[in-house]
Amino acid sequence: MWEILTNYFNYLLIERGMAQNTLESYGRDLRRFVFFLQESKKIDDLQDISPDVIVEFLTRIRDEGLAANSMNRALAALRGFYKYLLREKIIEENPLANIELAKVWMKLPDTISKEEMKIILAQPGTQSDVAIRNTAMLELLYATGIRVSELISLTMNSINWQVGFLIVMGKGGKERIVPIGKIAYDCTRRYVEDTRPKLLQKKGTDVLFLNRFGRKFTRQGFWKIVVGYAKQAGLQKKVYPHTFRHSFASHLLEGGADLRTVQVMLGHSDISTTQIYTHVTRDRLREVHEKYHPRG
């Protein structure tokens, strides 16, 4: 069973070109699954796994406190693994065939309102080089909905200044193009022209956003910046870099954008991943109706 799993990981890495972070996440989930089969169920043959065993595994990791997103990632990892097993004729039937996506475990993404976003974006100001850089990073994050890993990996060639588009390298090495918007464009342009040369400190790097040492940001470093400004803004709810991505999507849909367009800008390969934001939008519509309609 472990040998089959190793072969599958090699397939994901070499043939599918899966990103290293995703591969590591899937690896943890699938190794946990195999360990559960062998230690808890005493199963050594993949042919002996029934749908009940799969459900028992998912129930166990849910009861252990696994987050909703992690639950669904684990199920996605299992689905991919079983497709591989069928293709390689290692099994004859897929026990996952009749198991629905764990919607009951799917937590709606945390978002903030447009007004709250405006307050956070105003926090850095433009009174110092660091403030100019932080404003540009926050504005670009909200304007494009990119992931924090994508933001800190941007290079000087990632922006097409002539047409105002951002070229993003997403998961699995997939490239996508996202419009920037005037405010984020102007803030980023100012950072590049006035601030970045000072932070560069004669270092040879094409990374767009630099820390005070003239190096590429870490995820943790930027996470601290976002959390700090959210507290400074006096928001009661928790705000993280990914909150900007969630809010970007929900605000677009609230404004009338179609789901397919939002999917493309977020870089989702499956539109069902994007559809979770429609739940957020419906909740917002209900809230507005109840607040402002005379019969609400």
- Residue 25: Cβ within 10 Å count: 17
Would you write out the chain's pLDDT as a tens digit for each of its 296 residues? Answer: 899 999 999 999 888 888 888 888 899 999 999 999 988 888 888 888 888 888 888 878 876 766 667 777 888 899 899 999 999 999 888 888 766 554 444 556 788 999 999 999 999 998 999 999 999 999 999 999 999 999 999 999 999 999 999 999 887 778 899 999 999 999 999 999 999 999 998 778 999 999 999 999 998 999 999 999 999 999 988 899 999 999 999 999 988 888 899 999 998 877 767 877 776 676 666 776 677 766 65
Residues 81-92: b if buried by 16+ CB within 10 A, e if exposed: bbebbeeeeebe
Q: Kindly name the residue from 8, 84, 142, 147 that is annotated as catalytic.
A: 147
CATH classification number, 114-292, choose in 1.10.443.10, 3.40.50.40, 1.10.167.10, 3.50.50.60: 1.10.443.10
Looking at domain 2-105, what is its CATH homologous superfamily? Tyrosine recombinase, N-terminal domain (1.10.150.130)
Q: Is 245 a catalytic residue?
A: yes
Contact 150, 140 (CB under 8 A): no
Q: Is 268 a catalytic residue?
A: yes
Catalytic annotation present for 196: no
Write down the residue that tokens 């591969």 correspond to.
23
Please write the tens of the pLDDT for every residue from 90-125: 988 888 876 655 444 455 678 899 999 999 999 999
Return the domain boundaries, the chain: 2-105, 114-292
Q: What is residue 94's predicted lDDT score, i.e. its pLDDT?
A: 87
Residue 120 DSSP symbol: H
* CA atoms of 264 and 193, how far apart (whole Å): 30
On the CB side of 53, how many CA atoms lie within 13 Å of its CA?
20
Strand pairing category for 159-160 and 165-169: antiparallel
Given 171, 176, 215, 284, the catalytic residue:
171
> Does 171 participate in catalysis according to the annotation?
yes
pLDDT in tens, 177-222: 999 999 999 999 999 999 999 999 877 899 999 999 999 999 899 9
Which of these is catalytic: 26, 133, 191, 245? 245
Radius of gyration (Cα) for the chain, nearest Å? 22
pTM over 0.75, yes/no: no
